[in-house]
Structure 1
Amino acid sequence: RYTEASLVKELEKKEIGRPSTYASIISTIIDRGYVYERGRALIPSWLAFSVIKLLETKFPKYVDYEFTAHMENGLDRIAGGKDTGKNWLTRFYFGSGDGAARSEDEAHAGLQQQVAQLGEIDARAINTIEIGDGLQVRVGRYGPYLEDVKHLDDDGNPRRASLPDTLAPDELTVEVGHDLIENHSGGPRALGVDPVSGGTVEVRNGRFGPYVALVVPETADSKTDVSAESKPKRGSKAKKAAAERPKMASLFKTMKPESLTLEDALKLLSLPRVVGSYEEVNAETGEMQTVTVQANNGRYGPYLTKTGDDGKSDTRSLGSEDEIFTVDVDKAKELFAQPKYGRGRGRGAAKPPLRDLGTDPETQKHVTIKSGFYGEYITDGETNRTLPKQYDAATIDPAEAFRLLAEKRAQGPSKRGRGRKAGKKGTTTKSASRKTAKTPKVSAAEKARADRRANVRELADKGWANTRIAKEIGSTPATVKADVAWLTEHEGYSRPSVVPAR
């Protein structure tokens, strides 16, 4: 396996790239998913095997090491003034010697011949990597998976199993492959019968992980005879497919398909769970309304949903998946009374860290793992480093996290936008005078904003709703809501309860 340092040495040895391009080469193969980092090692992905197979079988000349090195030498000659870019591209496009094209038409004909010689590309063959003993890796639309074409299932189809992200290609031996097929082949396992519907409850493996499904037996009433119709109605196939689709629910992170019971599966299939209802004042209209709270599990974890009579809803995250079945109305009221975690400045309280890693012995700074808009990341308050996908926030060793931060610090600050900042520093006296001339206008706007916030605060103290305040001061409810949030954050304002309008 290569590290970044050993890969650069190999590029130098084969005369591929130059010192100024090594960093961009490594960044490109990582960003495109051809390799991923595990510690200091660069692990090739199965996607890379498929891409290389396509290039080597269809474009062998252009991925040959000698061609790449020759092209690099040509670029060096251009940089050194010994050749021109136009002449080099002309030779590349038209060729040289006796077989060179003498016009654009001949060049186009030559290119068309090269493309015609490619023939039809067999996508299945390109995306198939042989392992041995009938095992092969297939790179599909939703990622790589393992297929056994020698030992078929009861229906005569190849047996399949998903490949774990933590399994490197050189670790997938024939023995490991057979173990994956035998224990994780993804075939449905019947857990029992649902006492309400009489349907079969199964646990399955999908591309997004294990899940349970309720397969309801088909009844005579559900069968539709369309043989008498000469032409099916538009959308009838989609409706039929939707009707035949079983009810499904993903397993909790703490659950294992092997030990899942029928009782656990039925609880999952019963979601969303209705927690209860209670009365509260609508902050916009000032009127009393009944809200219904439901608990469910979603893509980003367990959460509560509060829906009012007007159809508008609000959500709050739960601390664990087990709380979905234990949270009550009082706890739900408490959660919805707290500010919602927001993505922007002034929209809510700061989201707590996912994990505390302690003090970095090198910088003596406190290091934590947080969840941001673009995913989980490691931070010491000054340097941020995205958590690589091969690591888990709950299990990564603190020493490894400290090392990742050290690598990020060694790269230095990002150069993005430096040119624009340099241009701003070189402003002339004339532009500075224009900026000074605009200052009174900004101050006037700030004064008007401060006056409006003072009016909002005065009316909010009287228990007025946002809609009523906006109508009184000639603004909008959204602006009033933003002003209250600003007063809460910057002036410690605590708004009293809204008094229902009479």
Structure 2
Amino acid sequence: MSKNLVIVESPAKAKTIENYLGTDFIVKSSFGHVRDLPEHDMGIDVENNFQPSYEISSDKVKVISELKKLAKGAEVWLATDDDREGEAISWHLKEALGLPDTTKRIVFREITKTALQNAISKPRQIDFDLVDAQQARRILDRLVGYELSPVLWKKIRLGGLSAGRVQSVAVRIVVEREREIEAFQTKGSYKVTARFDLGQGKVLNAELAKNFSTEQQAQEFLEKCLSAEFSIKNLETKPAKKSPAAPFTTSTLQQEASRKLSFSVAQTMTIAQRLYEAGKITYMRTDSTNLSEEAVGKAKTQIVTEYGQDFFTKRVFKTKSESAQEAHEAIRPTDFSTLKGSNERNEQRLYELIWKRAIASQMADAQLERTTATIAISTANETLVAQGEVIKFEGFLKVYLESSDEEDEEQKGMLPPLSINQVLQLSDLRATERFTRHPPRYTEASLVKKLEEMGIGRPSTYAPTISTIIRREYVVKEDRDGHERKFTELSLQDGRIERTIKTENHGAEKSKLFPTSTGMVVNDYLVNHFEDIFDFSFTASVEKDFDNIAEGKLSWRDMIKNFYTPFHKKLNEVKEEAVDKSLTSRDLGEDPESGKKVSVRIGKYGPYVQIGDVEDEEKPKFASLLKGQLMETIKFEDAMELFKLPRVVGSFEDAELTVNIGRFGPYVKHQNKFYSLAKTDDPMTVTEDRVIEIIKDKRVIESNRLIKEFDEDPDVKVLNGRYGPYIAFGKKNVKIPKDQEPASLTFEQVVKLAAETPDKPVGRGSRKAPAKKTTETKKPAAKKTAAKKTATKKTATKKIKE
């Protein structure tokens, strides 16, 4: 038995650490949190000063049992992550394993031999202020979700709804942006651009500094230029510079990985976690832009070696966030001389991004030269401007340039040689109609940026917050096609002005966040009835309270009480209010054929249009809304179009092709089989040829799916799956060894492989009795005297997703 037991939360982290510590240490993983509040009960005794009741999770009973055996007679070192969540895991481990308060706690921000040796030489004890801050967040979010969700079910009358303190505010941000866009009034104006032929294939591009608000004004300007002479009035050259961005924090890494690599926020954090646990980068949950002196020294060595002394400039970045812990570091490579962080493609891409950003932060400014040419028009007071830029010294641009949320600006190249009073030959002068753009919808990256700017959430909360609102279908992340739009262009060329009408694709969206009808309904209810709780500034102030608890300035119980008392009072008031049906339904008009009321409503499977009422003798007609249509904004004409479904688009193999919309989206029905339409297919306009193509493609996929069947048992098959060939053996999916050819497997080999494959472990939803749980304190007995109430509560709380 080893004398030293080091406990971390991840098996990958355990493996990396064990390689550094040697034979005197055994490193084991807790596989994350080992205790939590009960799954099917609130687990908080409100009347007993919010005392929580923690349970060992059913899937961690075996882990705790093994760790207890290893801990006997050993020196235990708790080595979970250096943040509030990690501190809480260490405390839960101490409690579950029955360890003394003097148990050693070690922290490190990177998994390197030096960092581990330093940590072991300076152990501390568990920081209960950090534990209390994590407890406060967990308990507060449980109270809000547990008590508010049933109110949503009753008042909105939709099952499965749930409310989260931070998640609901994130939804509110997306909803309010959508309404800004809906209310936005587009205005047109005319932008004037010119091209001049300088000979020898050289062209000078210029533009007017102002836009004209009307076509008439643009026409009048072009008319003034019909006989004009154009010449260089002034040339101005100025030095300029660009400076590198700070190394990554959690937020900026999520934003840049989204822009440059098209990673979701959750994907970025998962990949960064693997790189950290492999010892390749420092800890990826941080709001500090600081680099240690040691890191700056290693960066300098790499920069000077690779690019030269002139490319190095030592920089110290100051974090904007008041709550940032400057003792922590920004995200950086543990070894700047390591250019390859992983053999896995996406891990390497993220590693390169982190490496480049950290290296660039310690490099010299890029030195530029910007030239502005002012062009006079002999027949007008206005002037045209041409701008160019040349890089005199690359500096940090040799390695990295930060992206922007906005659309990329047009790159300005170097201007051709010009001289004052030089007469220019006009190729063409154009006044093109351009339109103001509504505020952009949020991407995952820009939503993270907004949350951070507003002080809502912390580095560890951004990814789960966004994942949660998407999973709950309050928000969808998707691409949407643009629409054709006409615009006018006036062009002056060869001494005459022509007017043409052109078209452009307008409003296309890629990977944007859109609120759903359900999300908007839930948001409106929460804002209308709990405005203070879901106010942006209030939510930010709660985050500051968590920070104060972490710093030992505030009692977590006092903080919870200050929040809960007015919240619970308001909750009781709301429970007495009548159900507001206007939240979940809206009258659109009257059906011209039947004279019955047409309304849009929201139900279990989303928004739909209804003709008639359930009280009518004839059953109402229903039609689901299409992708992108919202209950709040759909118009009567668009709603009536939906009743054209289902529609017969033709026939194939002597059977009708019927297109409709179902619970899982648009589909075509053929010979009692259902085929999903692609996201780009509109069920209202999809053609017979396209539908037949979908059916044939699906048949090809299905025909290629079967690799082999067996006479001994027709239910056993070798199939092609999403992740490669596998064996379908009863309820088991059996992996095929890489050295075996799937098509050549015999029935005996298949039976043997199936026998060697363990049954799936019993999940939380299984009817099998769960493993015995241990608790820190007794469950509160309040409100559990009646068996009926207990049964109802357990059923209801299954629907609450924290």
Asked if these proteins are the same fold (TM beyond 0.5), I'd say: no
TM-score (normalised: structure 2): 0.22
